[in-house]
Amino acid sequence: MDTLNPEELKFFVESVRHYFKVLSKQEPAITSAYLATSDLDGFEFNGIVTFSGSYNGHVIVSMPPQLLKELLLLQGETDLSENNLLDAVGEIANTLGGNARKSLGSALQISVPMKLQGASGIKARVRKHPYVITLKWNHQPALVCIDMSKR
């Protein structure tokens, strides 16, 4: 399997920026982008989309509850239950997956997002060192883990 090239990685950074800018009119600050050398400490709410076809792997969006609550309130949503927070992080992961298909080609197959609650460690399954983007939006931290390779 081949690694992602710099343009493909840049696409994910720009996709995260674009998502927040469209939703909130405020871009997040990308605080780092790096190759993880160990398991990652994620946040309480996680959305995961799995890729197959021309690429193999998954993207994990991990966010704390306060960030998700603020995003829901911006959308006029008043139900800030844990189920709604899980739905929100799953939708963000799904949106990033859909954007990836536009950029990486129609042969990319994307799963329905999985939604997990709990701040457990994020483990790489495809790459020894997955790509990680950390960000802050409205003073709230988040991360996106890109654990995928070309077939």
Q: Is the dihedral of CA 94, 96, 102, 105 positive or negative?
A: negative
The residues near 86 (Cβ < 8 Å, ≥ 6 apart) are 45, 47, 115, 116, 117
Within 10 Å of residue 38's Cβ, how many Cβ atoms?
9
Report the DSSP pairing between strands 114-117 and 121-122. unpaired
Structure-block tokens of residue 107: 């042969």
Residue 27 backbone dihedrals phi, psi, to 5 degrees: -70, 145
pTM here?
0.90
pLDDT at 45 over 70: yes
Q: What is the mean pLDDT of residues 81-98?
A: 94
Q: What pLDDT, on the 0 to 100 scale, is given for residue 105?
A: 80
H or E element in which residue 103 lies: helix 82-104
Q: What is the mean pLDDT of residues 71-99?
A: 94
Q: What is the mean pLDDT of residues 128-147?
A: 91
Structure-block tokens of residue 95: 């949106």
Task: Sort 2 into a burial class: Cβ within 10 Å, 0-12 / 13-18 / 19+.
Answer: exposed
pLDDT at 134 over 80: yes
| Mean of pLDDT over the chain | 88
Buried (b) or exposed (e) across 106-142, using 16+ Cβ within 10 A?
eebebeebebbeeeeebebebbeebbbbbbebeebbb
Q: What pLDDT, on the 0 to 100 scale, is given for residue 124?
A: 63
Domains and CATH numbers, the chain: 6-150 (3.40.1550.10)
H or E element in which residue 12 lies: helix 6-24
